[in-house]
Amino acid sequence: MVEEINPFEVVKTQIDIVAKEIGLDPNVVEYLKRIERALIVTIPILMDDGSLQIFEGYRVHHSTVRGPGKGGVRFSPHVYLDEVKALATWMTWKTSLLNLPLGGAKGGVCVDPRKLSKKELERLTRRYTAEIINLIGPDIDIPAPDVNTNAQIMAWMMDVYSMQKGRTVPGVVTGKPIEIGGSVGRESATGMGLYFVLEALCEKLGLKLENQSIIVQGFGNVGGNIAELLYNRGCKVLAVSDISTGIYCQNGVDVEKLLEWVKQGKLLKDYEEKNYKNITNEELLTLECDILVPAAIENQITEKNANAIKSKIVLEGANGPTTPEADAILFKKGIHVVPDILANSGGVCVSYFEYIQDIHSYFWKLDRINEELKRILLEAFEETYKISQERNISLRTAAYIIAVTRIAKAIELRGIFP
Ligand code: NAD
């Protein structure tokens, strides 16, 4: 599915939708459909067996008009330039929607990290960082974890950058281990943000969160965290999935046990339990449930399966899981789609807190992190919800109106150089 739909074409369609809604200057529309810069790098890696393997990597800045670039680094065999361009653009909207003084960026390496040893993964990360070093920095662009990258990978990136500068620069990446300048609450922040926004939406819709049944696609950082939070809230989690399979149980799965399993680096297809049924990722999306959380990759809900979605709410943990055609179908069906740029923005929000803490060399307690996170996300949610109600438009279009308007204003105020 990933290759079929180009996510950067999706981005352009989304820009056209919001431009039409608010009558955006066509020159600005054209500008927003471009990225500021992209770097393609070759990463030669000496493998443990002495052979040489060459990988391709990318770092893209979509917009730094409101501040330094911000965005994750993805290691996946499906990564390609247009995907990274799309992900960078979505970061621009996300930081703007939350009104953070940051822009949008993203990076990736086309590699299947499961096929690398830990040493090979470290060499790949270090060489990738060295290759993109001129494009990153605390006041240029600050990477963070994304699919198949984690705190350890951020530690290696921070080390390479610091070695080059001749001093420790923790603020060059976020999502680091706490021992070297990471923030408490960062690892669970995206899931926590999804939870806060979902709670707020349920309240608007008069739904009791604990009575809702849940399905989560993608059981990694984002999907695992939101599944755990909802499970502990008392929700029935009917199904979860990773890249290998989906697991379904009519009476609900034991999220804690499944998390224990995947945290050992194991795949769900190897998990065995009486009453659990293996299903495909495609089947999982169209099962009966109250809240569907796509938390894996892009283009999962398309015009092909949107009509078959049965949930009341789609809470986008992943970036770009729903195509514009599917969006229109879901809106017609009365399904509330909480868009990625709002729903999963808890990650970038706490990344911003980590960045501030690193710059000030002063670290916050978890209570403060979660309190500020909730405040910022609920402000964005309330604003988005209000616009969607006033104009009778989707939450996505409403969120885009806020985000794009702020970017357009920044462009207007700064003017075009020279
Ligand atoms: P992760 O690597 O921790 O987990 C990804 C999960 O998705 C894994 O369970 C993996 O097996 C599964 N998966 C991968 N490819 C799949 C496929 N083709 N079909 C089904 N499942 C598949 O990654 P993550 O950090 O949890 O990121 C997941 C999504 O959330 C991505 O879209 C990412 O851009 C987005 N996101 C992440 C963060 C963050 O803080 N990590 C923040 C905002 C958005």
Are 157 and 121 within 8 A, CB to CB?
Answer: no
How far apart are the C-alpha atoms of 179 and 303, rounded to whole Å? Answer: 46
Residue from 90, 100, 215, 297 whose mutation best tests the ligand 1 pocket (most atoms within 8 A of CB): 297
Are 400 and 17 within 8 A, CB to CB?
Answer: yes
What is the reported pTM?
0.97
Query: Does the Cβ of 218 fall within 6 Å of ligand 1?
Result: yes
Query: Does the Cβ of 155 fall within 6 Å of ligand 1?
Result: no
**Residue in 48, 42, 43, 41 with CA at minimum distance from that of residue 120:** 48
Are 75 and 148 within 8 A, CB to CB?
Answer: yes
Query: Which residue in 85, 94, 106, 236 is the catalytic one?
Result: 106
Alpha-helix runs per DSSP H in 74-220? 81-97, 118-131, 151-165, 189-205
Query: Does the Cβ of 245 fall within 6 Å of ligand 1?
Result: no
Query: Does the Cβ of 281 fall within 6 Å of ligand 1?
Result: yes
Ligand 1, atom 13, lies closest to the CA of 243
Measured in whole angstroms, how far is the alpha carbon of residue 15 from the centre of its chain?
19
CA of 26 to the centre of ligand 1 (A): 34
CA of 28 to the centre of ligand 1 (A): 32
**Catalytic annotation present for 106:** yes
Q: Which atom of ligand 1 is nearest to the CA of 74?
A: 34
Describe the crossing of helices 81-97 and 7-22 by its angle, rounded to 10 degrees: 40
Q: For 213-246, how does the pLDDT look when each residue is reduced to its tens digit (9 = 90+)? A: 999 999 999 999 999 999 999 999 999 999 999 9
CA of 25 to the centre of ligand 1 (A): 35
229 three-state secondary structure: helix
Query: Does the Cβ of 224 fall within 6 Å of ligand 1?
Result: no
Query: Does the Cβ of 102 fall within 6 Å of ligand 1?
Result: no
Ligand 1, atom 21, lies closest to the CA of 243
> What is the reported pLDDT for 2?
43
Q: For 148-194, how does the pLDDT look when each residue is reduced to its tens digit (9 = 90+)? A: 999 999 999 999 999 999 999 999 999 999 999 999 999 999 999 99
How far apart are the C-alpha atoms of 211 and 284, rounded to whole Å? Answer: 20
Q: Which atom of ligand 1 is nearest to the CA of 340?
A: 44
Q: Which atom of ligand 1 is nearest to the CA of 1?
A: 18
CA of 217 to the centre of ligand 1 (A): 9
Are 66 and 49 within 8 A, CB to CB?
Answer: no
Are 143 and 160 within 8 A, CB to CB?
Answer: no
> What is the reported pLDDT for 1?
42
Residues of the chain with pLDDT under 70: 1-3
CA of 243 to the centre of ligand 1 (A): 9
- Transcribe 246-288 into DSSP letters: EEE-TT---HHHHHHHHHTT--GGG---TT-EEE-HHHHHTSS
CA of 296 to the centre of ligand 1 (A): 4
Calculated CA dihedral for residues 45, 49, 51, 57, nearest 10 degrees? -20
> What is the reported pLDDT for 272?
96
> What is the reported pLDDT for 4?
77
